[in-house]
Structure 1
């Protein structure tokens, strides 16, 4: 990322002039969660221009986007209010240049997309096929004085993200999904910048932990929550819990098992049922164990097309989960159900009804219904986004155009409309921070 930042910065400064066409992006150097305004000035009225944006991902690959605009009566384009008539997005969308960035078709998107470094975007305006102005915009993911501490103690593996300064803050345990490894560092750093000590916990797929998502002990996650609460930087004895996809499933099982440990739970695209892990033996087994015994699970149906293992044809696996539920007896569904009504904290569920990985909307609705029927008084809620896909949780204003997710020998279709998914990410991030602020004890910086 450092080289990419240098290239972007070096490539723009010589082309910006104080007279003639100019492109401006502000506010610069603030959190990526804060909306920005991009404007172009100094052009003839009624002129046709192309405004473009470029940035690099964590593998150094270049992402690009563009919009086609007509300048107004004073020769200006305000991307916040002007409609794009072409390029990578159309219509009025202040965030369009950011979420609509894309790679060349033959390239693969890394997961996670960004590290915890700042996202530096090069912006430019083309007129008659020539670039007439450029600028850069730095969007902050991790506060400059924040710290990241690798964790390898008490049998735990992960990273501890600390807000700037010395003090105590609420703690948040962050769990990634079936991709394994350490959770998204950009999401962890951004949550920490909001005033939380974030423990990004790996639970498989790194040295010292299981290779595959099979029979992960619940005790491991509960130990992580206890370890986090006992840190000197953490206020209070209850922590927040944020999980995505399989990490949301894990989060709901953890919070149902030891409710007193958690003050708030955020479950992005969750499941209300325990599903099998993703081992390579072909034998389905539980993702989780409790006291050494398998947590009961519902057997999954095979996804149509999964046997082809052709990365150019992503598989929609959500249908397989739906078929498995439809074929299961009431007893099997009851045994595999996560008892979310035992959670003694507010739960925020987020989902997209075009989720191609699994039916997160239906699963989240069933979970919320269980909580509601039990009379849970803690203010649990569901944010569901019609037309959005699987990737509705995480860092706002990153590209949502690549919906194919590598998963072992196959590629899974995350589903959803990129613009709708991008809007959902912005809403879920705001809602996540709002829930944590309401539920968590405030620290002192």
Structure 2
């Protein structure tokens, strides 16, 4: 089993030992619940301290590269020498205000370190928590947060022309199936997100659609038939209940998801599109002279909206992080009504319930405007299954995925280009917690539970 640290005692590399508490009667920091899903809210409390003293509560963990992530909050103990991070405000450190999750999303690396993407590729995350008084650490504890249930399975898939991984919940039986699509980073979708969805009782097929051997090298001319074949393959698995599956996509994967659900509506029981597009855009890593569609249908390019810039939205040379949302907005503003109509995804054909999520400070593309147009089209067609848009003011591009991971690093690399995803870290972190809960709620309402 892979963890951020491997085993809990490895946090001793950062401290003098591996004991959870200093003394029973003295200062104590408690974090609970321990050893449960990362999606479950956490309560961190401190007691046994002098009343009215300034204390620093901190957290540390490792990523898979062995880099240390750290966070802290500053508090004043109450009249009985206690601090409760669920109700007490931090006045300094890496976050301020009342936020029981603040120590987790505000973790950061030294400025000269490179954050991995996706950040978490592990079965669980072990966090060392401590409290400092007068510059000295007086108590510490560890907290393990589970991403993949130990009894679950991950099966590599390389058959029927498909590439990806199949995530099975613990136990035996049949469960609803979910097809998971990653974004423009390519390769396999975030394994942490796939594993966490599987732990909620779903067979999750994390489908790679470019960037791996046997698949297109770039996000260009990806067949719609490939995604539809994957949905059929998943529904036919003996572990999967029913003949319809859920569909969850992020970024370009959300664009792909809306294309798939529009092409074969009866195949999908529910659709979740994190920061989606209602338009088809060109494939990445191409110049204006050779712009081609991201997708094909029956071997022909799906019509798309061209970028007016000679370099395209994400094809600039390597350099500092850039925001590309303006390029997308400019392309929409300068396009004729006919061009927009040709490039529009016919989302009104979707018959299943749909959840759209977006952040209005998205630096990658204008996901709020794109999601609003998609919502209007679906609702205008009278979709009786229900459509919901969760739009978060001040949040950036990374509003979908695993809750309580750090949101302090917002630059994402697409090939040779580094894009600033935008948004306030605290707001984006709150959005992720909301979107995960809403995703699970939609899937549970729309899909049979099967026999566990």
Q: Aligned residue for 1:391?
A: 398
CA 1:199 to 1:122, structure 2 compared with 1: closer, same or farther past 3 Å?
A: same
Q: Of 415, 423, 446, which residue of structure 2 is paired with 1:416?
A: 423
Counterpart secondary structure, 1:13 = coil
CA distance in 1 between partners of 2:308 and 2:354 (Å): 29
Q: Of 306, 315, 318, which residue of structure 2 is paired with 1:309?
A: 318
- More off after superposition, 399-408 vs 348-357: 399-408
CA distance in 2 between partners of 1:307 and 1:118 (Å): 37
CA deviation profile, 1:170-193 (whole Å, cap 9, x unmatched): 000000000000000000000000
Q: In the TM superposition, what is the alpha-carbon distance from 1:306 to its structure 2 partner?
A: 6.8
CA 1:119 to 1:277, structure 2 compared with 1: closer, same or farther past 3 Å?
A: same
Q: In the TM superposition, what is the alpha-carbon distance from 1:389 to its structure 2 partner?
A: 0.3
Q: Of 99, 102, 124, which residue of structure 1 is paired with 2:130?
A: 124
CA distance in 2 between partners of 1:378 and 1:436 (Å): 13
Counterpart secondary structure, 1:231 = coil
| TM-score (normalizing by structure 2) | 0.95
| TM-score (normalizing by structure 1) | 0.97
Q: Of 82, 87, 94, which residue of structure 1 is paired with 2:93?
A: 87
Q: In the TM superposition, what is the alpha-carbon distance from 1:300 to its structure 2 partner?
A: 1.8
CA 1:271 to 1:3, structure 2 compared with 1: closer, same or farther past 3 Å?
A: closer
In structure 1, runs of 5+ residues without a counterpart are none
1:41-56 pair list within 5 angstroms: 41-56=47-62
Q: In the TM superposition, what is the alpha-carbon distance from 1:298 to its structure 2 partner?
A: 0.3
Aligned residues: 443
Q: Aligned residue for 2:205?
A: 199
Q: Of 198, 215, 219, which residue of structure 2 is paired with 1:213?
A: 219
Q: Aligned residue for 2:440?
A: 433
Is the CA contact 1:305–1:315 (under 8 Å) kept in the aligned structure 2?
A: no
RMSD of aligned residue pairs (Cα, Å): 1.5
Q: In the TM superposition, what is the alpha-carbon distance from 1:307 to its structure 2 partner?
A: 4.2
Q: Aligned residue for 2:283?
A: 277
Q: Aligned residue for 1:146?
A: 152
Q: In the TM superposition, what is the alpha-carbon distance from 1:436 to its structure 2 partner?
A: 0.2
- More off after superposition, 168-177 vs 206-215: 206-215
Q: Aligned residue for 2:383?
A: 376
1:185 and 2:169 correspond? no
Q: Aligned residue for 1:355?
A: 362
Displaced runs of 4 or more, over 6 A: 303-306
In structure 2, runs of 5+ residues without a counterpart are none
1:401 and 2:408 correspond? yes
CA 1:301 to 1:60, structure 2 compared with 1: closer, same or farther past 3 Å?
A: farther
CA 1:3 to 1:391, structure 2 compared with 1: closer, same or farther past 3 Å?
A: closer
Q: In the TM superposition, what is the alpha-carbon distance from 1:58 to its structure 2 partner?
A: 2.4
